[in-house]
Structure formats: C-alpha cells, structure tokens
Amino acid sequence: MRAASRAIVITLLGVLALLAVSPAASALPGPALAQQPTTSAPPAEQQPASPDDRNRVTIGIIAVVLLGTVVLGRRIRKRAQKA
C-alpha cells in the first residue's frame, strides 16, 4: 500500500509541475537575434503555433500521465494480490 501512495504522490507532483510551466512565458518579447543564412536555399516560412496546437499538446501530455498512472496502479495491484 505504501508503494501505491508513493505512486499517487509522484503522479500528482508530475502533473503539477507540467501545469506550473506557463506557455505564455515563451511569448515574451526579447532582443531580436541576427539570422545569418547558412545555405543558399530560401528560408521556409513557419506559421506560428495556434492555440489549438497548444491545447492538443496539453491534452496529449495529460493523456500520457493518466495512462502511466493506470499502468502503474495495475502493476501495484497485481503485486499486492500475489503477496
């Protein structure tokens, strides 16, 4: 049972750490970096990340954390039943 409580605490701390990182912090203005072309090919233009993309990434991370919690919980339950 002690391992189960540790797993829950670790999972919750991981989720809180992921939520504590603010995606808006990366959008702060900073000094412009001088870009020097390294090849003769024209640079490809990239579109800025949309809020939908950020939401998908966030949902994906949460899904992986939840899946890990389920797998870890099942492993702990199996070991407890064998003992």
pLDDT attached to residue 56: 87
pTM for the model: 0.43
pLDDT in tens, 6-45: 878 788 777 777 776 655 555 556 566 666 656 666 666 7
pLDDT attached to residue 6: 80
**9 or 76: which carries more pLDDT confidence?**
76
DSSP 9-72: HHHHHHHHHHHHS-GGGGG---PPPP---SSSSPPPP-PPPPHHHHHHHHHHHHHHHHHHHHHH
Residue 82 predicted with pLDDT over 70: yes
**69 or 21: which carries more pLDDT confidence?**
69
